[in-house]
Amino acid sequence: MVGCSINVYCETLLLSSSPYVGIIVWRIFGMVGSFCFILIQLILIIDFAHSWSESWKAKMDDSESKGWFCALMTSTIFLYMVAITGIVLCFVFYAIQPAATCGLHKFFISFNLVACVGITVLSVLPFIQEYVPHSGILQPSVISVYTVYLLWSAMSSNPDDKCNPGLEQILKLSNGTDVSPLGISGEDWVGMVVLLFCVIYASIRTASTSNVGKLTGNNDMADYGSGEKVLIDEGKDSSSPSGDVEDQKVWDDEEDSVSYSYSFFHFMLALASCYIMMTLTNWFDPNLEDKESLLAGVGAMWVKIISSWVCLGLFVWTLLAPLILKERDFS
pLDDT score at 131: 83
Dist. CA 47–CA 38, nearest whole Å? 14
DSSP states of 155-216:
HHT-S-TTT---HHHHHHHHHS---PPPSS-HHHHHHHHHHHHHHHHHHHHHTT--TTGGGG
Contacts of 26 by beta carbon, 8 Å cutoff, 6+ apart = 9, 12, 277
If we measure between CA atoms, which residue out of 91, 151, 93, 84 comes closest to residue 120? 84
pLDDT score at 120: 92
pLDDT score at 37: 82
pLDDT score at 247: 55
| Contact in structure between 3 and 266 (CB atoms under 8 Å) | no
Dist. CA 62–CA 5, nearest whole Å? 51
DSSP state of 293: G
Domain boundaries in the chain? 22-55+73-222+255-324
pLDDT score at 26: 76
pLDDT score at 115: 94
List for the chain the helix, strand, coil content (%; round to 5). 65, 0, 30
Helix (H, G, I), strand (E, B) or coil at 238: coil
Query: Which residue numbers in the chain have pLDDT < 50?
Result: 1-4, 6-17, 175-183, 207-245
Taken in order 33, 34, 35, 37, is the CA torsion positive or negative?
positive
Dist. CA 58–CA 191, nearest whole Å? 31
If we measure between CA atoms, which residue out of 50, 42, 31 comes closest to residue 331? 50
Q: Residue 97 — φ and ψ, nearest 5°?
A: -125, 135
Helix (H, G, I), strand (E, B) or coil at 225: coil
DSSP states of 236-269:
-----TTS---S-----TTSSS-SS-HHHHHHHH
pLDDT score at 248: 57
- For the chain, how far is it from start to end, CA to CA, in angstroms? 37
Q: What is the longest distance spanned by two Cα atoms in the chain?
A: 83
pLDDT score at 31: 79
Residues 180-184: contacts with CB under 8 Å, at least 24 apart: 184/280
Dist. CA 46–CA 41, nearest whole Å? 9
Strand partners, 97: 100
pLDDT score at 229: 44
pLDDT score at 202: 60
Does the global pTM surpass 0.75?
no
Q: Residue 184 — φ and ψ, nearest 5°?
A: -120, 130
Rg of the chain (C-alpha set): 24
Which residue type occupies 176?
A: G
